[in-house]
Structure 1
Amino acid sequence: MTTAYKIWDIPGGIHPEQYKTLSNASEIQPAVLPPEIILPLNQHIGAPAEVLVNVGDQVKTGQLIARNKGQISVGVHSSITGTVTAIESRPIPHPSGMPALCVVIERLAEEEILFLPPLNDWKSEPLEILLQRALDAGLAGMGGAGFPTHAKLNSRGNIHTLIVNAVECEPYITSDDRLMREKASEIVEGIEITRLITGAQKVLIGIEDNKPEAITALQTIIDRIPDKGIEIRVVPTKYPSGGEKQLIQLLTGQEVPSGSIPATLGIVMQNVGTIYALQQAIVLGKPLIERVVTVTGENCPNPGNRWIRLGTPMSFILEQVGVKADGPHQLIMGGPMMGFTVMDHQAPVIKTTNCLLLPEPKPEQPILPCIRCGMCEQACPVNLLPQQLYWNAKSHDWEKAELNSLFDCIECGACAWSCPSNIPLVQYYRFAKAEIKKERAETEKSDRARLRFEQRQERLAQEEAEKEAKRRARAEAAAKAQQAKQESDGDNAVNSDMKSEILASVARAKAKKQSQAEPSAVPPKPVLSTEQLKGKWETLQSKVETARTKLDAAKTENPEMVNALSTALGKLEEKAHQAKLAYQQAAEEENKPQ
């Protein structure tokens, strides 16, 4: 066993009573199937899964009943064989106490298994197949917030170190401890699978020194692997050494920058329970349908660790350990430091449920004013200023809270544990974070609405401009057509007048000849005489001169009238010309010898 390694220190931290011996002495108990399971669609960070079944459908154990919706999401599998009886809002384990959409399945007597095909020769499988299996099996982080495993592992090329988090530093919880003792071989194989997927050259297993049996079990298996490259690093028992950034600092001496993730340092971390679930999914094709849960506490008659099918109502588990489900006892999901009280005991076990704690009732301590003692600052493992964040949150000064690195707080509870005034500091920080996120969401929503409005206004303006251009084009085309029609009508009128006058002159000539030949004939209808035609021509010519004068004046005084006057002048000139031709033709006819 390698011992020549360095363990760095982390700032702050506390040493609460462990209470781990309540549950770590006995083996993990096998699962007892409940008559009904309740499967929330969001048991992980990210988008809720999308339901694939309907009420009345029969499903098998391991069958996918809700698929992932996007990359930061995972599917949900049925943990029993039964009939879907409802798809509705039910109580779920969440600090808010709010219900959420769940698939409810009633168990049938005979169980039918529907697992994925095993990948026995996983070392020769393409990496894409291994990553897809993590997604298909519905794997999410089982030791923290439930980040989708396939997304966390999909960073090959940037990772040089894989850290396996086996610290389990929170009091009472021993599920990982017992899992390592009993499933060490499977866990080590899961580590090798994870290392292959991520491409990590080095593997560090971080584990507290209060788990000697688990350390021995893992080391025994690791020693059998040639060229293993896997090292167990034992760290002192200190809370919260199991935090992701804290464990990285303990094992490597590196600090993950604020707002960054371990991958920026070439490190990826996985919880030991997630590693085991990955091995089961790859080697056996088993989706994530059960997990080890520590059921413990001073109020628990039969504490220990149990395999529990996901979706099992917590009330059913309480009955299994000899506790009345409707009793007045407090039930906490998680540990005493970071866990939260479950308001409705019908809420189900989910992928991130590592402990159900039934603590001893304690008299409620009065909340006293902050005395600025600084003990919270000394306990903070992130080097924050908890009392400043407390005042920021209490006064709703979100801007200063962010400036004081509120979102770097890991909500470990070390500050509240050390506070002599019993101030629930973490609750203030959670409230502040929620309000800031709410404001950000509202701002983003408002920005999106404003952007949509501006885009709509721009689109409407463009459409109106296009309509106006079309209207203008139609108006110009109509004006040109009207002008052409008027010019055509003017030409036709001039031609008609000229033709009438010529015909009249011809008729007069014929009538004159006829009257000379036949004196007794009835005289023809009077027509314009040559002198009348001459007068008409001269009148039109006078109008032409007048129009020319007006046009010359308009060119300097009223340019807008130039086009209209030019058009009118052209028509008058044409009429005058036609009148002149009519007069000349009539004069020639009149002067011809008889």
Structure 2
Amino acid sequence: MRGSQYIKVIDIGSFPGGIHPAQHKGESNTTPIATLPLPDRLWLPLSMHMGAAAEPNVQIGQHVLKGDLIAAAAGRVSANIHAPTSGTIGAIEAHAFAHDSGFSQPAIALDSDGLEQWRPQQAWSDWRSKGTEAVIERIRAGGVTGLGGAGFPTDVKYRNSQAQIHTLLINAAECEPYITADDRLMREQAEDILRGAQICQWLVGAKTILIGIEDNKPEAMAALKAAAEQLQLAIELAVVPTKYPSGGEKQLIQLVLGVEVPHAGLPSDLGIVCQNVGTLAQVYRTVVFDEPLIARVTTVTGAAVAQPGNYQVLIGTPIEELLQHAGVQMAKADRVIMGGPMMGFAVPDLQAPVVKATNCLLVPTKKELPPALPDNPCIRCGLCEQSCPVSLLPQQMLWAAKNRQLDAAQLHSLDACIECGACAYVCPSRIPLVQYFRYAKGEIRQENEATRNAERARIRFENRQNRLEREQAEKEAKRQLRAATAAKALAAKTGAEGQAGSETNELIAATLERVAAKKPLVGAPPASLSLEELAAAAQASQAKFASAAARLAEAEVNAPDMVNALQRATGKLEEKYLSTEAAYQTARAAADTQP
């Protein structure tokens, strides 16, 4: 181990595979970071980070200040979006988006007023006194995401890493050719980076701050060492050889710590949190100065660029404006690539904006990066296997992907592929291996989503069936309760037993008295009916009356608004029943007295 009082230079290990493409760093890393002029209109996509898209909380025509929240994070894995300048919301609609699919995305248009007026800010000079939860929430409120290319919300990484973390690994490798944004940032803002590292170290409880940096960045290393001495901050420095993709998170961990992260695992499982230098500088500005993520450093380079360099760019700046400022000669340009030549993609529309993950815009000529030639059949040379940093078998995954044998592709750990492009770079047959792997991954995602949808549909169906059965059982229970209540009411009303029978006899006797007094009977049967017909009429009247009494009892429980009408109808049926019964009893008595 070598170093000074605060800096310890440690030995490193290695990772399998890797390649050594031409670096092309010197074209853009020799000049300081330049600031781009304020654009007239900014376009801010709602989905420029990993996770759920943000939801707008502004209206068209609304005036906002620089740093105002204009779209709120939706869900646990999402990120806030803020106004990069002051101005007026001009539109909320679909707009061109930098993605190889070419699809547009919902976005917010902000028309600048040229004033650059900030919202009120609350600086935290003593951020430790606020507590870890408040600091993490401030990072979330600031919309901070990883600036190394992935765009993962930073607060989520901190929340998931608050137990048994021993090492904060600062990823300063920047291994992809052409890209120098992190290099210039380390040279010019090394102290901000290390202050952000102090915050992160405190949040996750790490004992060690370890910086992994490629040996092609001596000026950046010197700046970091000087900043550590100035801050009296103990760091460990691991200088790794220039080899692609040493800046991959898992590859860098294997290089500098000698441990391998399982492809289905996370660095935090091994007690490690990994952060990009740009992310740490932003964490410092957000926590201490209350500055949300509204700008980033972007490399603009390539043989078609007259003024290659690094630019401080507001999020939402149209790519075309940035290229014009850098002096891009579109007549010489073959295409515009977002990212580097290994993992980047061609931008389909230059009206698409710079987003939080835009670390580089590469504008090569056709001679510099020739278009891909037609591929030839695989010759089984094994070079792709030798170059793979994850120790996969790309040729086997290729056969599975080409034949859509998705199960076989998964058996060969397709999901562990980091899509670095090393295999395609060395392939003598010029096979676009990464494109095949991306296709297979997409097909697997679609199949998995279809399976999940089918499972969700099955669960919904079963839940519906269970609900219907439960509702039917509840209805049957209520029906039985109503029937029992009606039966009790009928027994009490009609005198089915005990005292009720004597009350009925008294009513019949009263009716007979009215007959004797020659009072008219309501609904009385004709006198010409035989005894048998009178008995049948009395029985039918009794049944109708009993049915009406049951309906009345049920209404008293479930339909109070029907009680009055049913009482009147039941009364009439009761009187008819008593009249018929009286006629039957009279006829029967007369028949009994005959010799």
- Range into which the TM-score falls when normalised by the shorter chain: 0.7 to 0.9
Secondary structure at the counterpart of residue 243 of structure 2: coil
Aligned match of 1:110 = 115
The residue aligned with 1:575 is: none
Determine the C-alpha separation between the residues in 2 that align with 1:173 and 1:160.
30
Following superposition of structure 1 onto structure 2, how do residues 209-358 of structure 1 map, counting pairs within 5 Å?
209-226=215-232, 228-323=233-328, 329-358=334-363
Q: 1:20 aligns to what SS in structure 2? A: coil
Whole-Å separation in 2 of the counterparts to 1:304 and 1:312:
17
Question: Does the CA-based 8 Å contact 2:304-2:330 persist in structure 1?
Answer: no
Shift of 1:498: 10
List per-residue Cα deviations over 1:28-80 (Å, max 9, x = no partner): 11121111100011111111111111100111221111111122111011112
Identical columns (%): 49
Distance 1:116 1:498 in 2: 96
* Cα offset, 1:470, TM superposition: 2.5
Indicate if the aligned counterparts of 1:140 and 1:148 stay in contact, CA closer than 8 A: yes
Aligned partner of residue 273 in structure 2, secondary structure? strand
- Does the 8 A contact of 2:212 with 2:238 survive in 1? yes
**Deviation at residue 171 of structure 1 after TM alignment:** 0.2
Is the 8 Å Cα contact of residues 63 and 115 (structure 1) preserved in structure 2? no
What TM-score results when the alignment is normalised by the length of structure 1?
0.81
Q: CA deviation at 1:490?
A: 6.4
- Say whether 1:372 aligns with 2:410: no
Say whether residues 1:472 and 2:519 are aligned partners.
no
Look up the SS of the partner of 2:137 in the other structure. Answer: helix
1:37 aligns with 2:42: yes
Q: Structure 2: which 5+ runs fail to align? A: 513-588
- SS for the counterpart of 2:211 is strand
Residue 207 (structure 2) pairs with residue 201 (structure 1): yes
Alignment of 1:38-117 (within 5 A): 38-114=43-119, 116-117=121-122
> Does the 8 Å contact 2:149/2:358 carry over to 1?
no
Q: Summarize the alignment of residues 388-427 of structure 1 with structure 2, pairs less than 5 Å apart.
A: 388-427=396-435
Amino acid of the residue matched to residue 94 of structure 1?
H
Q: Deviations over 1:402-447 (max 9, x none)?
A: 2211111111111111111111111111111122122222222222
SS in 1 for 2:469: helix
What corresponds to 2:525 in structure 1? Answer: none
Q: Is the 8 A contact 2:304 2:332 kept in 1?
A: no
Pick one of 437, 455, 458 that aligns with 2:463: 455
1:157 paired to 2:163: yes
Within 5 Å, which residues of 2 pair with 1:125-204? 125-154=130-159, 155-204=161-210
- Name the residue aligned to 1:571: none
Instruction: Tell me the equivalent position of 2:436.
Output: 428
Q: Aligned letter for 1:168?
A: E
Question: Looking at CA atoms only, which structure, 1 or 2, has the larger radius of gyration?
Answer: 1
Contact preservation (8 Å) 1:165, 1:242: yes
Report if aligned partners of 2:38, 2:114 keep a CA contact under 8 Å in 1: no
Gaps in structure 1 of 5+ consecutive residues: 502-581, 587-594
Q: Which letter maps to 2:183?
A: D
Please state whether the residue corresponding to 2:391 is helix, strand or coil. Answer: coil
Shift of 1:197: 1.4
Contact 1:115 1:287 (8 Å CA) reproduced = no
Stretch deviating more after TM superposition (480-489 or 111-120): 480-489
Letter paired with 2:291: K
For the residues of structure 2 that align with 1:434 and 1:500, how far apart are their CA atoms? 90
| One-letter amino acid matched to 1:427 | Q
Question: Does the CA-based 8 Å contact 1:318-1:325 persist in structure 2?
Answer: no
Contact 2:304 2:329 in 1 (8 A): no
| Counterparts of 2:227 and 2:267, CA distance in 1 | 28
Runs in 1 of length 4+ with deviation above 4 angstroms? 324-328, 476-484, 488-501
Q: Deviations over 1:199-235 (max 9, x none)?
A: 1100100000000010011111212344x33111100
Whether the 8 Å CA contact 1:315–1:325 is kept in 2: the answer is no
Instruction: Tell me, in whole angstroms, the C-alpha distance in 2 between the residues paired with 1:148 and 1:495.
Output: 88
Indicate the RMSD between aligned Cα atoms, in angstroms: 2.7
Q: Mark the CA change 1:142 to 1:246 in structure 2 (over 3 Å): closer, same or farther.
A: same
8 A Cα contact 2:254 2:260, kept in partner: yes
Instruction: Report the Cα distance in structure 2 between the residues aligned to 1:396 and 1:28, rounded to whole angstroms.
Output: 47
Instruction: Choose which of 494, 497, 500 in structure 2 pairs with 1:485.
Output: 494
Residue 454 of structure 1 deviates from its aligned partner by: 1.1
Please tell me the residue identity of whatever aligns with 1:258. H
Q: CA deviation at 1:156?
A: 2.0
Using a 3 Å threshold, how does the CA distance of structure 1 residues 229 and 477 change in structure 2: closer, same or farther?
same
TM-score normalised over the length of structure 2: 0.81
Letter in 2 for 1:122: W
In structure 2, do the counterparts of structure 1 residues 363 and 454 end up closer, same or farther at CA, with 3 Å as the change threshold?
A: closer
In structure 2, distance between residues paired with 1:496 and 1:223 = 112
SS in 1 for 2:35: coil
Distance across 1 between alignment mates of 2:99 and 2:88: 26
- 2: CA distance, partners of 1:174 / 1:425: 27
Separation (CA, whole Å) in 2 of partners of 1:376 and 1:438 = 27
Q: Contact conserved, 2:305 with 2:329, CA < 8 A, in 1?
A: no
